[in-house]
Amino acid sequence: MKQTYTVTGMTCAACSAAVEKAVNALPEVESAAVNLLANRLTVVGSEALDEAAVIQAVERAGYGVIRPAAKGNAAAAKTDAKEAVQTEIRTLKTRLIVSSAFLLPLMYLSMGHMMGFPIPSGFHGAGNQVVFGLTQFLLLLPILYINRKFFAVGFRTLWHRSPNMDSLIAIGAAAATVYGIYALYKIGWAVGHGDAATANHFAMDIYFESAGTIFTLITVGKYLEGLSKGRTTDALGKLLDLAPKTAAVIRGGEEAVIPIEEIVVGDIILVRPGEAVPVDGTVIEGSSAVDQAVLTGESVPVEKTVGDPVYIATLNRTGAFKFRADKVGEDTTLAQIVQLVSDANGSKAPIQKLADKIAGIFVPTVIAIALVSLIVWLLLGEPFEFALSIAIAVLVISCPCALGLATPVAIMVGTGQGALNGILIKSADAAEIAHEVRTVVFDKTGTITEGRPTVRQVLPADGVSEDELWRAAVALENSSEHPFAKAILNAAAKRGISGEETGVSDFEALSGFGVKATVRGVAMAGGNARLMAAEKISLPEAVADPVRFAEAGETPLYFGANGRYLGLIACADAIKETSPKAIRSLQAMGIRTVMLTGDNRATAEAIRRQVGIDTVFAEVLPSDKEAKIRELQSETDAKGNRRKVAMVGDGINDAPALARADAGIAIGAGTDIAIESADIVLMKSELTDVVTAIQLSRAMMRTIRQNLFWAFFYNSIGIPLAAGVFFGLFGWKLTPDFAAAAMSLSSVTVVTNALRLRGFRPKWIASAPPAHEDGDESKSLSPAGEPSGAASEKESEMMMKKVLVVDGMMCAHCQGRVESVLSAIKGVKSAAVNLEAKTATVELSEAVGDDVLSAAVSDAGYPVLSIRDA
């Protein structure tokens, strides 16, 4: 049983540690984790878990709590989260305005004479010290009142023996205020007794301005921090905002526009050109090109016809279509993505747990250091006000905000950035582990390859035309359900050869051999060499050797009629265009690449050569894949450390291996069970996203380490400086107000550093034909009969690049739209947008005019400023 609560009043890692400790103490709770950045408590426990007990435990720890929202209500959760952030920002803004309005005259009055500013005569001079001090106190009171939350939370948590950042602020400000009141009494007594020296002494040592400055500067930091928090949650907000608010639903033959919340499973929905799909479903009428960039990042619209799935928030580009609603509400793809990202933000990376443990004992330690500093300076003979200012400075500068924010803010920004790019990181553990991966294992079919065979070469026999071979193949395969049959029929359709064949009788599918039939009285057969032998059809020596095809990763299908050999059509599972680039990029990152497949060794070796994978394990049974992962995990690197292994797969048989791997990465187009077993899901089903996911993980961990380093460095320097360690040597001493400014700056710095992740861009190594051990090129042939390497060389010779400078692009949706319209232009092989540089780079396979490129992008709503050759 899992419950999520919103906790109020938390300000630092010590707060989250106190809440976790209080809730984990409940007997029904298995684990409790707090996300400080989102103010969210996630509790996992038994069915007997009592919601009231959890709330009571949080309140006993000194914090407020809001009951969990309805499960799966993503839109409501987003609204609540956004409203909570905005409310916090508004509150902080009000506090900042009021605090500043009273602090400015307070500072002018208390410090103006030091700067040579004119001060009214009634506030200085003999006998006016009481007026001088009392006016400062009255100016401080509104600041104390508007920031009373620090006292309420700080002293409450101190009472419950779980002091936090607010406790440090409250103790420091209270000490400064109480000492100021004490000074006021001393001034009054001295004036009444004519002791001008004592009155002047205490008038100069009133700390009211320090208390006011502490609160104001802390509020400045919190306000800036709140603005940054709002930006870190933008990713989820942008995703949810992509969904339309209404839909055209057909009920009882009538069309009605209703809110998407009222759509139920089974509803028939009409989507016109330019409209977004409101829920997940299946097309039942019509066809169109649907832009899925918002979910998958694919730049090219996907053709959708009857029977194809459509997903919420994707954009209908061309024709109108009707679809049946299959998933609504919390079951839609978008809601599940948001939930996955939300869960990732709510979980904790191991490095954060370490930081939280340190923060849990940090605040009591700081209070002890402040007391020791106070006592030591008094014993050294310094005045009480000097020792007190030292203690206050220690309390204020040591607030562990930066330490508490170092990890969660980076996790939130990083996972949000991944979601916008079609990479779903399901937990903070996965985000941390992925950066340590040194071996990546790939399934072959559907992962490295497309997962569906295509025709690679056609070789008619002597005296047989290619058309005659195609027609015989179509006649035989039209009744077959085999994937190779579908590949042949699809290729024939592109040549204009129809699959509708009359006069076919006695069709027979022979498992493990092929098919036989009588076509217009002629006995025909198509299949492997064993079938040809059984039908007594002799194969030419040049094509009879199966090894030749296996080494090229192809499967030959031989065709014959009335004992006569007609020719062969070779099929192969096409390698994804991005697979070689991904493999080379991983190798450049120092990662070993491994392919794990059940295919025969010759075919597996052919794929290995074509994509450049380091190692291949062929003929591996599905049940043995998990064991092979364990074997790879037992290997060590040069330093003796165990190699972390990532598994990339898409099938049911990959699920155990995905679960066993240190980081399981599921291809988004794969099965549900594979996705459930994985730690990271790639929505685009492209292997380049494996590279992106690992690079993003490395960037996140680099940011976290930077944040933690600066947080610890700041405290290791700040605390001794505030405690006066360097006062005797260099005369360095921090005033409480300067300490408050330094503390606020540290928190803002940590959050700002994490926000740099929003500019993350993956780096890939351009793919090239891999070198082979034997020095031979791949033996696979193009459909035209040429070696595939030769075809690629010809293609690359024709390639040209142009760079467009495009204005108005703001987000991933803009990026996808520009890439989409450019990719749709005839002659454009690929288009890639760099949002940061505001450029679009297009690769051309033939000449395309600048005016054509410019017009396409401008018509999409993005002005083209210039075009140049790359």
Element (H, E) at 353: helix 350-379
The CA–CA distances, whole Å, from 360 to 6, 366, 371, 373, 783 equal 20, 11, 19, 21, 66
Q: Distance between CA 88 and CA 17 in Å, rounded?
A: 22
| CA neighbor of 208 nearest in space, from 168, 174, 166 | 174
Active site residue 443: yes
Grouping H, G, I as helix, E, B as strand and the rest as coil, residue 594 is strand
List the structure tokens of 127.
Answer: 């006998």
Whats the size of the chain, residue-wise?
A: 870
**Which DSSP category does 398 fall into?**
T
Element (H, E) at 755: helix 736-755
CA 628 to chain centre: 29
User: 658-661 — which CB contacts under 8 Å span 24+ positions?
Assistant: 659/626, 660/626, 660/629, 660/630, 660/633, 661/441, 661/629, 661/633
Please report, in angstroms and rounded to a whole number, the separation of the first and last CA atoms in the chain. Answer: 56
| CA neighbor of 831 nearest in space, from 294, 301, 303, 276 | 301
The CA–CA distances, whole Å, from 234 to 70, 514, 717, 744 equal 22, 56, 34, 23
Q: Distance between CA 236 and CA 75 in Å, rounded?
A: 10
Phi, psi of 602 (to 5 degrees): -65, -45
Q: Distance between CA 301 and CA 290 in Å, rounded?
A: 5
Q: Distance between CA 507 and CA 510 in Å, rounded?
A: 10
Q: Strands (DSSP E) along 562-668, which ranges?
A: 564-575, 592-596, 615-617, 644-649, 663-667
Element (H, E) at 401: helix 401-405
Grouping H, G, I as helix, E, B as strand and the rest as coil, residue 317 is coil
Per-position DSSP letters for 251-281, written without gaps between them: ETTEEEEEEGGG--TT-EEEE-TTPBP-SEE
Strands 839-844 and 800-806: antiparallel
Place of tokens 């990732």: 344
Element (H, E) at 249: strand 246-251
**Which DSSP category does 623 fall into?**
G
Pinpoint the alpha helices (H) of 116-147.
129-146
List the structure tokens of 798.
Answer: 């024709």
Exposure letters 628-654 (e unless 16+ CB within 10 A, then b): bbeebbeeeeeeeeebbbbbbbbbebb
Q: Distance between CA 691 and CA 593 in Å, rounded?
A: 12
List the structure tokens of 695.
Answer: 């690079």
CA 217 to chain centre: 33
Per-position DSSP letters for 485-504, written without gaps between them: HHHHHHHHHHTT--S---SE
**Are the C-beta atoms of 527 and 555 separated by less than 8 Å?**
no
Q: Which of 205, 267, 343, 443 is catalytic?
A: 443
Q: Residue 853 burial (CB < 10 Å; 0-12/13-18/19+)?
A: buried
**HSE value, Cβ hemisphere, 13 Å, CA-based, for 841:** 8
The CA–CA distances, whole Å, from 517 to 311, 455, 499, 560, 571 equal 42, 22, 15, 11, 21
What positions carry a catalytic annotation? Answer: 443
